[in-house]
Homo-oligomer: A and B are copies of this chain.
Amino acid sequence: MNLDDIGEFGFIARIRKRAGSCADLVLGIGDDCAVSRLKPGELLLTSTDLLIEDVHFRRAWSDLKTLGRKSVSVNVSDVAAMGGRPFSLYLGLGIPAGWTLEELDAFADGVVEACAAYGAVLAGGDTCRSPGPLFISVTVEGRVPEGELVSRAGARPGDLLWVSGSLGDSALALRELLAGRRPDVQSAARHHDPCARVALGRALAAQGLATSMIDVSDGLLADLGHLLDSSAVGARVARAALPVSSFFRAALREDPSLMDLALSGGEDYELLFTSPPEQAAAVSALVANGVAVTQIGHILPQDDGLQLVDAQGNPCPLPRSGFDHFG
């Protein structure tokens, strides 16, 4: 069956049936706006992301359900990076001609499944034809208790610098895909189906452990640069301390230059954060949803800039600083 057979409003009704509901969503899909309720003392967090075919993804590389899941996760990751929990997601879809209902259902299933996994609801959206590639826009709303908000701007000299999980896996898979090779299963999963670190972000925020935080989407050094700019500080990063997975380490043994992927590959969707040194034990004890954290450096005064050092403490050259859509 084709989209033309059921029309725009048939398609919306079909998505609406899948979308579910939650207590604080007063009205979901089916009115001019979604209507939500916040609790007293909660702040509203909102972030929007675009995913465009042949820019952010290729149809041939991933099934559509997984693409739907990824569209949600990359957006929810921004809420995690402020210490919040997502509650609503809004989906815009510009759909090329010829898509089947089965394809759209698979994509919608992935969106709804990922929303549910993060405790959020698909609350609204917009659909239309695209005369070009598939266009996806996602907007997430989350909440955080007012005193627990963690922005990019609170890092202070002396704070320790931490990152969650492991770096470079997603970029390693992308490198293989771009070269026409098949990435191994584990790095492919990190690239196609990343996981937003909501539980870790909440734990850091609720326990007051993070002085600043950002998610790693453009690449570790690029996103660290954003955090340093916002906080008006510098940092030293120990290259040998960067957490990498066992399969990334195996690849690294074959080609040491792959370390640049961990430094600036991007799409890790890990949390990069700072914490006062006296909280080091509490932070390293945090393992949220099986995700560990690793100290990778510390914060310096702004004039010291961003320094990368090797195992002996000697300065290393900085690789190119992450992805720029127009640079």
Instruction: Point out residues on A near B: beta carbons under 8 Å.
Output: 3-4, 6-9, 11, 26-27, 30-38, 40, 43-50, 52-56, 77-79, 81-82, 84, 88, 90-95, 123-133, 135, 137, 139, 141-142, 146, 149, 151-153, 213-215, 230, 324-327
Q: Please state if B32 and A47 are interface contacts (CB–CB under 8 Å).
A: yes
From the candidates B78, B84, B141, B214, name the one contacting A46 in the complex (CB within 8 A): B141
Q: Is the CB of B55 within 8 A of A327?
A: no
Which residue in B38, B50, B132, B135 is a CB contact (below 8 Å) of A44? B38
**Bound CA–CA A243/B324 (angstroms):** 50
A214 / chain B contacts, CB cutoff of 8 Å: 32
Given A31-B151, A38-B38, A45-B33, A50 and B326 touching (CB < 8 A)?
A: no
Which chain B residues border A215 with CB–CB below 8 Å? 32
How far is A47 from B27 in the complex, measured between Cα atoms in Å? 12
Inter-chain contact A31/B129, CB cutoff 8 Å: no
How many angstroms from the CA of A25 to the CA of B13 in the assembled complex? 34
Residues in B neighbouring A44, C-beta threshold 8 A:
35-38, 44, 141
Q: Is the CB of B30 within 8 A of A47?
A: no
CA distance A137 to B3 in the complex (A): 22
Beta-carbon nearest neighbor of A51 in chain B: B128
Nearest neighbor of A96 in chain B, beta-carbon distance: B132
A324 touches B8 (CB 8 A): yes
B127 touches A325 (CB 8 A): yes
- The CA-CA distance from A317 to B260 in the complex, in Å, is 68
Query: Which of B46, B82, B95, B132 makes the CB contact (< 8 A) with A132?
Result: B132
Contact (Cβ within 8 A) A47 B124: yes
**Most chain-B Cβ atoms within 10 A of its Cβ — which of A38, A82, A92?**
A92
Which of A9, A139, A153, A230 gathers most chain B CB within 10 Å?
A: A139
- Top 4 closest A-B pairs, CB basis? A132-B132, A137-B137, A7-B327, A33-B45
Can you name 8 A-B residue pairings with CB atoms under 8 Å? A6-B326, A7-B326, A32-B79, A37-B44, A44-B44, A55-B130, A129-B325, A137-B137
CA distance A273 to B36 in the complex (A): 22
Instruction: Verify A4–B137 contact, CB threshold 8 A.
Output: no
